[in-house]
Structure 1
Amino acid sequence: MAARGTGSPGSGQSKGTRPRPTGELGRYLVATPDRGSTADAATDALREAILDGLIPASTWLREEEIAAELQLSRTPVREAIRRLTSEGLAVRMPNHGTQVAPMAMEDILAVYTVRESLEGLAARLAAQRASEQLRTGLRDIHEKFKRAAASGDAGVLSDLNLEFHRAIRVATDNRYLERFLTQVEHAVRRFGNSTFRDSRRVDATIYEHESILNAIVNGMAEDAEVHARSHMRRAREARLEAFLRANS
């Protein structure tokens, strides 16, 4: 399906590359797509594989190999790669092909600069529109997060963290804000090396989420925004520390 390194897809495998086991990508194809939806299915499968780290940064995306793994024709795969390029998850290299977009420390800084503003706005709007369903939902997610903290499962904690923020953005009922924050979420998932491997960050997140939650539940829009922005600044610091440790 793909090969890491600087060689182009058409030039054979570059030095140090290794083929992927057949079928590894196929598990991301939720179901056999109906006629007309194969491009959507291929896009979703490739996106999730990239976000989960199955297809690493700088990996070449080869249409023929991907199509074989997904048991689809090359046309929907080509469209899927085009869509992921427009989303910023892949980059087109002139005269070579398309590869998964690389990630660097500058990406973390850029993403969290945007995320701080957007998450703050989302929290403000959610507080202004807070329904009983949102209040109950956020409390439930927060309690699950606290219980998961006892087990120290970073994967579960990461999922619940995303669920908490996803519930807030959906509650804004603003499709543009939700779209932008969804793209931000995709970028964050690609950073890998969950900060929740550090128990100190887990404890801090419980406190920070609780502050956001209380502000939203009580309809305190300004406080909700302040707490959300502060939470993002601390998340950025933790993410940078994790990135530096992983790359030192």
Structure 2
Amino acid sequence: MSASAPVAIVTGGARGIGLATALALAEKGHRIALSDLDGPDLAAGIARLEAAGATVLPLPGDVSAFARVGAHAATCLDRFGRIDVLVNNAGISQPKSLVDISEDEYDRTIAVNLKSCFNWCKSVAPAMLAAGRGRIVNVSSVSANTGGARSAVSKFAYCTAKAGILGMTRALAKELAPAISVNAVCPGSIETALTSGLIAANREAITATIPLGRVGTPEDVAVVIAFLATVEPNYLTGEIIDVDGGQWVN
């Protein structure tokens, strides 16, 4: 891949929506910096990207750690000389209700799902602003607007963090313009390793609520993220796009 090819950082990129997004951006000619916890999933994700012909820089570690994220951004700049796209996808589920959750569990949910977006935006924005260009795409959830259903894998703490991402997206779209566009996607019922058990047990009932007649895939979300990250000319910023097959259309 060319040394002048654009560079995309994808957090939570080892599997699911993150890996599908990394593959989609690699197919569009981006070199990929893949951020995730160190372990077998990250190694497998890197191997899959490299098998597809992508140039990959692994960035192992906790996205909620500000100093670690700053160091990773610096490593990416040192290696590639540029950062064109940031996809804030990293997140964890939190199934506990208000009466059951501990303070530490709540803080961890907010740190991984919301603070990580601040960490990465703060770390890459200066380079993007200096270059006069950049795309940031934040992955939220339809539950940011609807709240978690009783059957959902995540409840109020997750919804709180994902709603915060929407506020951050709108605010940064204004603050970082015109150099950097900032948009968000809100996946609906997407079948991943995290949700596959729940979906398998309730597939018929879930599908009945989706006008397009099927549960979504990581690739359904990745194609929208890749569009926001690469479309030219670009006249979109501060937008929130639901990727839910019409399930929550209003």
Q: Is TM more than 0.5 here? A: no
When the two structures are superposed, what TM-score results if normalisation uses the length of structure 1?
Answer: 0.30
The structure that is helix-richer by fraction is 1
Larger radius of gyration: 1
